[in-house]
Structure 1
């Protein structure tokens, strides 16, 4: 799967092909240019050294084949140093060995078993009708208001928190508070002299959520009349390893943050695409059976995760480049999902694209465990929007999140026309 260079062997080429661009800069205006930049780089620079700028240098991986290779080769590319550029460190992450996202095999398998059973098809099937009813209730409320709405505030921020609350067994009265915290966790700010940067706010929100889940477990609180998932992770079963209290807290935190922030971004990206391409909305109204394919295309076309970080655990070769042990390797799945070698007309939002082998939910060891629940939320939102509305258009400028990790919208004014 590794591409080769014209050289007789791997080369250590640290020439940065984009010396005037900082891929870590979270400014939305500059991040918006990355699709074009990556498209220009993919043919000749599928793996390249991105020199030190606002962060230390790292190897950027932007082509589909090499991105899949990094995802699947956990023996060569370790997740134990942090999953984002903002959290990446030279030493191991303090949560490594306890939180599934920053743990490598074989310990990763034990942690994954501890949470994986709660995302099985049967669990998602049980939750789907409740999520579906909640989504319809929200969209009926939007219709009845009869005026433009901020889709983020009115819909996209609420659905994944509700779904996570049902899954984790969280008290309904806490969901608004959780939504307000998870929305801030992945915000970025490169302004070092600001008195209160977005990164400070993100760290504070993360700490507050960590404290919340610790309290939830300590006090054995119950939500929705059922034992919470946090408690069940600690209890374990005959067929599933129990987690320690610390492991349960960290993984519940990870599920709450990861599940809500990525799905919220997916929903905003989907609706933003519909406002950009009104013909797509009308085509789906005429062919609602294409909704599942349209959801997959939304995940590919506007993948919410901009990057994921790894550290080389040994000397490796990737696309003819020699990467040394200890060096950061950062994949850009949004670019991989627009690789012309894999996807015909990759910049086209094609609701009939099939096959669609996108890696919007990652791949390999660290593939997202909540893909089934995420898809259920997107399908419900799109299906009910098609049923309740005859048109969907922008009602003002969309505002991208200031984040180098997530691609999604902080504000998305939309005008829906009732059907």
Structure 2
């Protein structure tokens, strides 16, 4: 059974989580969180409840927070009770200690604890889903022990569950470190996700990271054409034959590529196994760049929830900006934290309709960077499957994207899983470990 946390805060804080430092969070959508605005309802519920093992008390509509915290601790001494005091005084801390309250959380400690409990809840849910998948697979076992696909829908003959991945990792000795997952998303089609995904994967590989380009535009992904790779393994093939994963590896300056299904009707069967697939892929690569489709679906939520950083693209159309805000509203309703999001306005030129300042204002002050207009050269060279030639041309888009990636990636310019190799030039003529000169950041529009 999933353990829960109770958060006691006044109604204004619950309606505006940014006052608690939780900007972008939809508290009501968090399944692991129980919300209370008054001491009366909190005490009535928590007195007999056994699912809540921790209580955070930030404020209250009817009594002082310290008094509520002391009362709840007295009711149940075995339950962890924390007072959220961003500006706690010595007197308050003394009173909390005397009342047996377990901790007084500063802003930083509270945000860290919130993130930790949210991640634990997500892990518990993934584990539950993995068990459910395994039980479903067990129910489909035929007399010979092989998995039989349901006659109504064509699915891969074997689903690569999280449990299977874990056991295979232990058997093969694969290190269980987590790779850096970076999905490329947008609110609408045509923002440049495919181009940015392909170039990002190429640049990450050239910067010394062991990189995989995962094409999760399951219906219309075209990464093999952009990279000039003939018949790479596809997502559905890997799910049906897990041994194919062993052959996923970068080749020189080209990242490894796991392509979208070749048959469009396979996309629906594959989408539900996004989390299990990531369980296997992430420990094998330093960086996984994930291309996504224009139509948002369940796999988008999985990718964003598990992302290390997510790059959100907006192009020069007003409809793209509106779609971005619409998608962010969806993330809030689904309880997906937008903290790991990085925003970029694409196709920026001298007379472009939108600048980073314009988009930042529309997104309520969120930091936004600019990706330069690459011109016809980008479409022509990628259309012919010549990405290396595009990087060698020192195209403006490639240069601005490399600058962005150096800021986003962990330990920019060095592989997080290996010792620092000897310096070498990237496709843009920049030496590893050195950053290009940058303009000063514009102030957020607040």
Shared fold, TM over 0.5: no
Q: Which has the larger radius of gyration?
A: 2
- The bucket for the TM-score relative to the shorter chain is under 0.3
Structure number with greater CO (CA < 8 Å, separation at least 6) is 1
TM-score, length-scaled by structure 1 = 0.23
